[in-house]
Amino acid sequence: MKKILIASILVGLTGLVIAQQAGFKRTLLQTQDLSIPEKVVVQAVAEFSPGIAAGRHTHPGEEIGYVLEGQLEIKIDGKPSQIIQAGQTFFIPSGMVHDGINTHSGNTKVLATYVVEKGKPVATPVK
């Protein structure tokens, strides 16, 4: 059973590794099963160097974010972009193609909480 749990976590983290690029780092803090069947919560800290984007991607569930420091521009396909300052929150619905870009002159750090389908990658890149 322990091997299955570890394999499930590794599959879920695949999306976290795929999205890594120079100037962008996503660090996993925790992954926990929820009382909602087939859902898990994942928390991570994303760090962006000035001018760096996470890259267009989707999540198999919701993303709830809080900008810890700096400023982030959130671009969700089909919606106006939003500028989120340190101390502000944002929400990205399940399956929406989006990107986050550091439009601040310094580093930007975001606490992201994902409520996603168990066994699926947390993030999937989109071209």
Strand partners, 41: 32, 115
Question: What's the whole-model pTM score?
Answer: 0.82
Decide if pLDDT at 1 tops 80: no
pLDDT given at position 80: 97
2-125, which class in CATH? mainly beta
| Domains in the chain: boundaries | 2-125
pLDDT confidence band for 21 (50 / 70 / 90): confident
Region 89-99: mean pLDDT is 98
Mean pLDDT score across all residues of the chain = 88
Q: What is the pLDDT of residue 31?
A: 96
In this predicted structure, what is the pLDDT of residue 64? 98
